[in-house]
């Protein structure tokens, strides 16, 4: 939506203005003619980063959670390694960097797990999740604005915490459930498939 389009689906766009523009997001307001002919307004939050997440998996079926206080919620949250990636960097590159920064881990193999829009009523934020295996441990290097805890957890236990509602981060929930479902349906490469299947049966 860099250039004002004349049409956006059933809406005719008459005008638009930038309300706020920062490093992270741009908020715009659009004057539109609605499907029934009446006039209306649409606010859109354009994200300037992709949401990138990784589900790292070791040979024993363990994965890693990152614990952090989420400013927007004023709540503590345990999540799979996630972070923002520049729009001109491939999701895979960002996934590798985020995994290394937040956990110190590097992985020999990455497999695309899911793609989705996190909240499409008002934002255009896109999320890309990866499954990663062939892990090697190293030194974590979190950003100065982050205060992270790290926890190793069997995938089986994490799946239980997702189902019970203990995990509240939507992206983590989606990656975990998608990994379980794809493992069941035989849609993941080896050795990840066998490792995960042992965790969900």
Residue 111 near residue 188 (C-beta atoms within 8 A): yes
Applying CB under 8 A, among 120, 151, 152, 191 the residue interacting with its own copies is 120
Instruction: Say which residues have a Cβ less than 8 Å from residue 44's Cβ, sequence separation at least 6.
Output: 1, 27, 28, 29, 30, 122, 123, 124
- Selected from 60, 122, 149, 189, the binder of its own copies by CB under 8 A is 122
Angle (CA) 53-107-174 rounded to 5° is 25
Using CB under 8 A as the binding rule, whether residue 76 contacts its own copies is answered as yes
Structure tokens that stand for 109 in this block: 């193999």
Assess 198 for contact with its own copies (CB under 8 A): no
Q: Which of 4, 19, 86, 198 binds its own copies (CB under 8 A)?
A: 19
Q: b/e per residue, 159-196, with b = 16+ CB within 10 A?
A: bebbeeeebebebbbbbbebbbebbeeeebeeebbebb
> Is residue 150 within the footprint of its own copies (CB under 8 A)?
no
Is the peptide bond between 191 and the residue preceding it cis, with omega within 30 degrees of 0? Answer: yes
Q: How many residues does the chain have?
A: 201
When asked if residue 186 is in the footprint of its own copies (CB under 8 A), the reply is no
Report which DSSP code applies to 63: E
Task: For residue 172, give both structure tokens.
Answer: 């983590």
**Interacting positions 78-107 with its own copies (CB under 8 A):** 82, 84
Q: Does 163 bind its own copies (CB under 8 A)?
A: yes
137 lies in the binding site for its own copies (CB under 8 A): no
Report if residue 20 touches its own copies, rule: CB under 8 A. Answer: yes
Q: Which stretch binds its own copies (CB under 8 A): 53-61, 87-95, 102-110, 119-127?
A: 119-127
Answer yes or no whether residue 116 interacts with its own copies by CB under 8 A. Answer: yes
Both tokens of 195, joined, read 């490792």
Which region, judged by CB under 8 A, interacts with its own copies, from 93-101, 120-128, 150-158, 188-196?
Answer: 120-128
The binder of its own copies chosen from 72, 88, 136, 141 (CB under 8 A): 72
180 vs 30, 34, 95, 129, 164, CA distance in Å? 41, 42, 20, 14, 15
Q: Which residues bind its own copies (CB under 8 A)?
A: 1, 5, 8-11, 19-20, 22, 24-25, 27, 30, 32, 34-36, 38, 40, 42-45, 47, 51, 68-74, 76-77, 82, 84, 114-125, 127, 144-147, 159, 163, 165, 168-171, 173-174, 177-178, 180-182, 185, 187
């Amino acid at each position: 939506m860099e250039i004002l389009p004349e049409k956006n689906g059933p809406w005719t766009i008459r005008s638009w203005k930038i309300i706020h523009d920062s490093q992270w997001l741009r908020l715009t307001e659009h004057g539109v003619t609605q499907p029934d002919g009446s006039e209306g307004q649409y606010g859109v939050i354009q994200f300037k980063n992709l949401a990138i997440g990784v589900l790292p998996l070791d040979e024993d079926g363990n994965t890693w959670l990152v614990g952090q206080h989420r400013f927007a919620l004023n709540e503590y949250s345990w999540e799979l390694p996630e972070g923002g990636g520049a729009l001109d960097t491939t999701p895979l590159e960002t996934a590798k960097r985020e995994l290394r920064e937040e956990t110190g881990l590097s992985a020999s193999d990455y497999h695309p797990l899911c793609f989705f829009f996190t909240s499409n009523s008002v934002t255009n934020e896109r999320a890309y999740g990866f499954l990663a295996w062939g892990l090697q441990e190293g030194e974590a290097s979190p950003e100065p604005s982050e205060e992270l805890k790290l926890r190793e957890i069997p995938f089986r236990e994490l799946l239980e915490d997702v189902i019970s509602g203990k995990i509240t981060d939507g992206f983590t929930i989606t990656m975990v459930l998608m990994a379980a479902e794809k493992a069941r349906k035989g849609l993941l490469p080896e050795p990840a498939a066998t490792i995960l299947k042992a965790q969900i049966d």
